[in-house]
Amino acid sequence: MGVCDMGNREEMITKIEAMAGRMRRNVLDMALAAGASSSHFGGGLSIVEITATLFGEVMNYDPGNPEWSERDRFILSKGHGCVGYYTALVEAGFVTKEDLLTFEKTGSDLIGHPVMNRAKAIEFSNGSLGMGLSLGIGVALAAKRRQSEHKVYVVMGDGECNEGSVWEAAMAAPNFKLDNLVAILDRNKFQQTGSNAEIMSVGDLADKWRSFGWEVVEVDGHNVGELYDAFVNEGVTQQPLAIVAHTIKGKGFSFSENNNDWHHHVLSKTQYDAALEELNNSLAG
């Protein structure tokens, strides 16, 4: 949506931060509504500022015409992070709050991993890790072929980078000179059963992606200004862009931050109340 001037930039950052606050509140409502079926709480909260910045400012789309051919495409390759996606779709006008409260219920459009639904701006079904970037390459190549200017944003996890298929795609995108493709690597440093360092370390992700031929930017993944600058960075090469976003798993609530018990966890009403109070205090502060 274009580069902000300095005055507007402060306003934009305030706007996106407020949006992220509302999204976290909706994440709490979803997690509570999910009840015993539980939700991927931690990995959804780590991407909230990423999806807020994309859907709140960076991406072009039309809620009145979800299949507009020139829309920017968003792919949540780490599909389990969907609470951080569906809540952005509410803000973008594709999904209602009522839809959110059907999360993981029988027959719902909003299941624990995204299920393709173009009317609701869910481009693909995700959940099996390591597949989203390849889909993004296909979409980005198709855009080049028809000389469309839209971009493709793929959000991936650091744990997801254990998958070999990620590296097949990582190798291909620079070879195809896909400067319309952006991979956002949610570096929250945890995966399902432990820290990334102890389960299967991906090491220096920025180095790895750079060595594969990507233009790489590292940011604080909860700093809207840094994220925004990375997204609007036009770059000087024809290479695809990888943004290594350093994040905190479970970001926003003291009980869940960097606590991997909250990878997939039931949220009790007591925890919900405490979390809501903490969120309200932080927004008021």
Partner 1 sequence: MKINAASMKMWSRIGSRATFGLAALEIAKTHDNLMVMTADTSTSAGLDRYRKTFPEKFLDVGIAEQNMMGIAAGFASEGLDVFTTTFSPFQTMRCCEQIKVNLGYMGHKVCMVGLASGIVLGTLGYSHCSIEDVSVMRSIPGITVISPADSGETVKATLAALEHSESVYIRLTGGMSNPIVHKDDYDFQIGKAIELREGHDVTLIAAGTMVYESLEAAKLLEEENISASVVNMHTIKPIDVEAIERACRNTKCIVTVEEHNIVGGLGSAVAEYKATIPGAPPQMILGLPDKFGKSGEYRDLLEQYQLTAPQIAKRVLSRLKELT
Q: Would you tell me which residues interact with partner 1 (CB under 8 A)?
A: 116, 123-125, 127-128, 130-131, 133-143, 145-146, 164-165, 168-169, 171-172, 175
C-beta of residue 82 within 8 angstroms of C-beta of residue 112: yes
The whole-angstrom separation of Cα 195 and Cα 190 is 4
C-beta of residue 77 within 8 angstroms of C-beta of residue 133: yes
Output the smallest distance, CB 137 to partner 1, in A.
5
Identity of the residue, 154 or 205, whose beta carbon is nearer to partner 1 in the bound complex = 154
Identity of the residue, 142 or 197, whose beta carbon is nearer to partner 1 in the bound complex = 142
Identity of the residue, 61 or 124, whose beta carbon is nearer to partner 1 in the bound complex = 124
Identity of the residue, 13 or 139, whose beta carbon is nearer to partner 1 in the bound complex = 139
Helix (H) / strand (E) element for 184: namely strand 181-187
285, two tokens? 């502060």
Output the smallest distance, CB 12 to partner 1, in A.
31
Output the smallest distance, CB 129 to partner 1, in A.
10
**170 contacts: CB under 8 Å, gap ≥ 6:** 133, 183, 208, 209, 212, 214
Output the smallest distance, CB 104 to partner 1, in A.
18
Query: Phi, psi (5° rounding) for residue 268?
Result: -80, 165
The whole-angstrom separation of Cα 37 and Cα 41 is 12
Identity of the residue, 171 or 232, whose beta carbon is nearer to partner 1 in the bound complex = 171
Output the smallest distance, CB 115 to partner 1, in A.
9
